Amino acid sequence: MSQATAQNIPLSFYEEKSAYPGIFAWIFSTDHKRIGLLYMFTILSFFLFGMSMGFLIRLEKMFPGGQFFQPATYNALFTIHGVVMIFLFVIPGIPAVFGNFILPIQLGAEDVAFPRLNLLSWWLLVIGALVIFLSLFTGSKLPDTGWTFYAPYNTITTANIPMAVFGAFLVGFSSILTGLNFITTVHRLRAKGMTFFRMPLFAWSIYATAWIQILATPVVGITLLLVIAERFLGVGVFNPSKSGDPLMYQHLFWIYSHPAVYIMVLPAMGIVSDIIPTFCKKPIFGYKAIAFSSMSIAFIGYLVWGHHMFTSGMADLARVVFSFLTFFVAVPTAIKIFNWTATLYKGSIELRAPMLFALSFIFLFSIGGLTGVMLGTLNLDLHLHDTSFVVAHFHYTIFGGFGFALFGGIHYWFPKMFGKMYNETRAKWAWLLLFIGFNMTYFPLFLAGLEGMPRRYYDYLPKFAPYHFWSTIGSWIMISGILFMFGNLLHGLLRGEKADDNPWGGSTLEWQVPSPPPLVNFTTPPVVNKDPYDFSDILKKRNSSPTPQDQEDKGGQ
């Protein structure tokens, strides 16, 4: 442990005095670390809410026929589950939490480029979320459109759709401002010597994501405003009875929402690219290839949205073109997966909790990605579209990808953020429960989908019963894992031992500042003169004097 004398240790950002008392010191703070933590607690609360909806959906489908809810309530449950999970949890997700907390420190900066704008982004998310929740109780029924708000149903249902989409619009604004902040931060606030190719790959991924946030989000913003204009002003945009084009809604929606998939997954890949070298103690294989693949995923992500619309009546030419283009996304993604695997080769692998999450990310995201290639194949999609195969596919990419990376990131940066350590044995058990439960919940849905089980159906034929039964049992195991994991983290937060400044032997800049960091991050501005994943100094130091953490681990295992 780094037990420096009291006068050597600068005050951590928790201990700095604020102009505001109590909770106001947080919700009016412009410090990127406080805002990152605000985001973390906000989106994890939304996650727990969305997870409860998911639990109820699975409970309802455990056996054929109605169990606990009316069909209309079931429709509302999956709509709310989707809207909350996508707009309030996954989209703000990693950029909002770790982009805020970690990115400026990784770049050697004091804060993001526009701290006040950063605080406004959080407020916009919270206000947007409140508007979305308010919409649930202010219509003549609960929203039942699914998270995609497809036209023309969105213009005729009596649920309070305009309010829900306005909430989503506000949340989108938060996303745009966050992206703007990060692009400027990366361009303007890098420390001396921190060239673009010395940035950690997490910073590269946040940079690529920020471009998508800025360029794609306005499209859905305008689309959602057009929905509102159609409802209130009677303008015929999407509703065919007013000579609108419902397919145009799908185009506009997916022009945003497909790149948005990469808003979710690119930062997740960034976290994995940081975790793997740290726990292999060797430089990442193909640094530039991974950095450029992030940028190319961000670009190719704009060219493939039509694969969500293969069965919607789009022109044949467009279907062929979009199917062809979709395969290109697999290339940069595969580059990353091969490079991570190559990094493991002959590495000194430590299977610590964050590493387990990162490795399971590679496994689960590969399944999600490869089934995505299946769905991008035009002829196969005609059979699989709108089946539970699609549900399984996107849960493997978004939960198996984004979710596992987020949890991995929380375990990886927890000691840095809170200066405390969680119980690692319990963290590993929680991971195991989560991993088993996850596969048990979603893998059966692939099989059911292949046999024709439609998605979003309240009831189903008896032949699908075993799949749904085991999926529901799996969801209980998964939820137990998640609750156990959060319990362990909370326990670490309240009662955990003090963490080292660099407990994992990480090489990037955030591991060179105290845990938790001081308000300005660096007491003297850092000068960078080596590659981000150069472990030579750390290994030299470790070999000469094993840290107490190492000795503890050897004793405990």
19 is a site residue for other proteins (CB under 8 A):
no
Q: What is the closest distance, in whole angstroms, from the C-beta atom of residue 341 to other proteins in the complex?
A: 31
Question: Contacting other proteins (CB under 8 A), which of 317, 379, 545, 556?
Answer: 317
Q: Which is nearer to other proteins, 318 or 351 (CB)?
A: 318
C-alpha distance from residue 360 to each of 44, 434, 472, 478 (Å): 21, 10, 21, 14
CA distance 112 to 55: 38
235 contact partners, CB below 8 Å, separation of at least 6? 226, 229, 242
9 is a site residue for other proteins (CB under 8 A):
no
Q: What is the closest distance, in whole angstroms, from the C-beta atom of residue 215 to other proteins in the complex?
A: 6
Q: What is the closest distance, in whole angstroms, from the C-beta atom of residue 147 to other proteins in the complex?
A: 22
187 is a site residue for other proteins (CB under 8 A):
yes
CA distance 156 to 78: 19
Question: Contacting other proteins (CB under 8 A), which of 55, 123, 153, 299?
Answer: 299
230-249 mask for other proteins (x: CB under 8 A)? -----------------xx-
Question: Contacting other proteins (CB under 8 A), which of 127, 255, 370, 374?
Answer: 255
Q: Which is nearer to other proteins, 247 or 493 (CB)?
A: 247
222 is a site residue for other proteins (CB under 8 A):
no
Q: Any idea which residue has 């950002």 for tokens?
A: 13
Q: Using CA atoms in the order 164, 170, 171, 176, what is the torsion angle rounded to 10 degrees?
A: 150
Q: Using CA atoms in the order 115, 268, 41, 549, what is the torsion angle rounded to 10 degrees?
A: -100
Q: Which is nearer to other proteins, 187 or 495 (CB)?
A: 187
Q: What is the closest distance, in whole angstroms, from the C-beta atom of residue 317 to other proteins in the complex?
A: 4
Q: Which is nearer to other proteins, 216 or 227 (CB)?
A: 216
Q: Any idea which residue has 């400027």 for tokens?
A: 184
59 is a site residue for other proteins (CB under 8 A):
no
Question: Contacting other proteins (CB under 8 A), which of 34, 58, 190, 251?
Answer: 251
Which DSSP string do the residues of 107-173 spell out, in sequence order? HT-SS-S-HHHHHHHHHHHHHHHHHHHHHHHHSSS---STTTT-TTHHHH-SS-HHHHHHHHHHHHH
303 is a site residue for other proteins (CB under 8 A):
yes
Question: Contacting other proteins (CB under 8 A), which of 9, 318, 331, 490?
Answer: 318
128 contact partners, CB below 8 Å, separation of at least 6? 87, 88, 167, 168, 169, 170, 171, 172, 173, 174
CA distance 217 to 204: 20
Q: Within 93-152, which residues bind other proteins (CB under 8 A)?
A: none
Q: Which is nearer to other proteins, 299 or 476 (CB)?
A: 299
382 is a site residue for other proteins (CB under 8 A):
no
Question: Contacting other proteins (CB under 8 A), which of 143, 306, 514, 518?
Answer: 306
Residue 137's Cβ-count burial label (10 Å; 0-12, 13-18, 19+) is exposed
Residue 530's Cβ-count burial label (10 Å; 0-12, 13-18, 19+) is exposed
Of 166-174, 224-232, 313-321, 420-428, the window that binds other proteins (rule: CB under 8 A) is 313-321
Question: Contacting other proteins (CB under 8 A), which of 14, 302, 476, 486?
Answer: 302
CA distance 393 to 400: 10
CB 396 within 8 A of CB 440: no
Identify the H or E element spanning 498: strand 497-498
CA distance 78 to 84: 10
451 contact partners, CB below 8 Å, separation of at least 6? 463, 464
Q: For residue 421, what are the β-bridge partners?
A: 497
Q: What is the closest distance, in whole angstroms, from the C-beta atom of residue 183 to other proteins in the complex?
A: 8
Question: Contacting other proteins (CB under 8 A), which of 3, 17, 195, 316?
Answer: 316
Identify the H or E element spanning 447: helix 424-450
Q: Which is nearer to other proteins, 27 or 255 (CB)?
A: 255
Q: Which is nearer to other proteins, 28 or 324 (CB)?
A: 324
Q: Which is nearer to other proteins, 233 or 317 (CB)?
A: 317
427-446 mask for other proteins (x: CB under 8 A)? --------------------
- Binding-site residue total for other proteins (CB under 8 A)? 19
The angle formed by the CA atoms of residues 201, 172 and 129, to the nearest 5 degrees, is 110
Q: Which is nearer to other proteins, 248 or 520 (CB)?
A: 248
Residue ranges in contact with other proteins by CB under 8 A: 187, 211, 215, 219, 247-248, 251, 255, 299, 302-303, 306, 314-318, 321-322
